[in-house]
């Protein structure tokens, strides 16, 4: 009577082992610029590159960090080349906003900025002051900075959240050709 459970479960165990050795493991998805249309404007092409947190923010962050570029491709703009419209670094948590005094003061104006430190291809760290997005969970990035990073292998960006705690993100940069063509961002021109 004690052999019955073994006889019953032996084929089940062998079948499970057989399926686990036959099933190929899925390779991790390559890093690519994912193209789409901007939700509120069908003439704007949107390119998104998802990154990863190196220093995660505290609390629950529903999405991974992303670089988002909006462009008007040449086919839509009726010109020979595309046009860069906007770039954003989306972090998903409120960033620390510093108010920077302008070089020349006219009244009591201070500019809101997000102080970031970035490293391209393990080179020396550089500092930038980027304009925060209206939602304060993103920051605007310039066309010049986008041109600078497109042909890199990796880009690390660090900043502070609204409590002053460090956060850091990394992007493994894919082939820049689709973005360069659609946005007219080829640094070699």
Q: Is the residue at 152 inside a domain?
A: yes
DSSP-derived letter for residue 91 is -
Q: Tell me the per-residue pLDDT of 162-187, one tens digit each, with 9 for 90 and over.
A: 999 999 999 999 999 989 888 888 76
Q: Is the residue at 11 inside a domain?
A: no
* Structural domains counted in the chain: 1
Question: Distance between CA atoms of 45 and 184, rounded to whole angstroms?
Answer: 12
The half-sphere exposure of 4 on its side-chain side, counting CA atoms within 13 A, is 2
pTM: 0.75
What are the φ/ψ torsions at residue 133 (nearest 5 degrees)?
-70, 160
Q: Is the residue at 46 inside a domain?
A: yes
Question: Distance between CA atoms of 154 and 30, rounded to whole angstroms?
Answer: 14
Per-residue confidence at 2, pLDDT binned at 50, 70, 90? low
Q: Is the residue at 141 inside a domain?
A: yes
Q: Is the residue at 18 inside a domain?
A: no
Q: Is the residue at 65 inside a domain?
A: yes
- Write out the residue range of the structural domain in which residue 114 sits: 34-183
Q: Is the residue at 143 inside a domain?
A: yes
DSSP-derived letter for residue 142 is -
Q: Is the residue at 20 inside a domain?
A: no
Q: Tell me the per-residue pLDDT of 67-125, one tens digit each, with 9 for 90 and over.
A: 999 998 877 656 678 889 999 999 988 999 988 777 666 666 678 999 999 999 989 99
| Tokens matching residue 172 | 């493994």
């Amino acid at each position: 009577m004690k052999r019955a459970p073994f006889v019953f479960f032996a084929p089940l165990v062998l079948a499970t082992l057989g399926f686990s050795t036959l099933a190929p493991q899925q390779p991790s998805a390559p890093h690519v610029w994912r193209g789409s249309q901007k939700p509120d404007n069908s003439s704007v092409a949107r390119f998104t590159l998802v990154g990863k947190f190196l220093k995660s923010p505290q609390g629950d962050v529903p999405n991974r960090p992303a670089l988002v570029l909006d462009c008007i491709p040449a086919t839509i703009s009726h010109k020979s080349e595309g046009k860069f419209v906007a770039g954003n670094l989306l972090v998903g948590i409120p960033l620390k906003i510093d108010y920077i005094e302008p070089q020349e003061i006219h009244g009591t104006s201070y500019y809101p900025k997000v102080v970031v430190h970035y490293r391209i291809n393990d080179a020396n760290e550089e500092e930038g002051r980027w304009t925060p997005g209206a939602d304060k969970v993103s920051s605007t990035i310039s066309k010049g900075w986008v041109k600078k990073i497109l042909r890199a292998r990796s880009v690390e960006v660090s900043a502070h959240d609204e409590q002053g705690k460090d956060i850091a993100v990394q992007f493994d940069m894919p082939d820049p050709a689709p973005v360069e063509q659609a946005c007219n961002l080829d640094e070699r021109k």
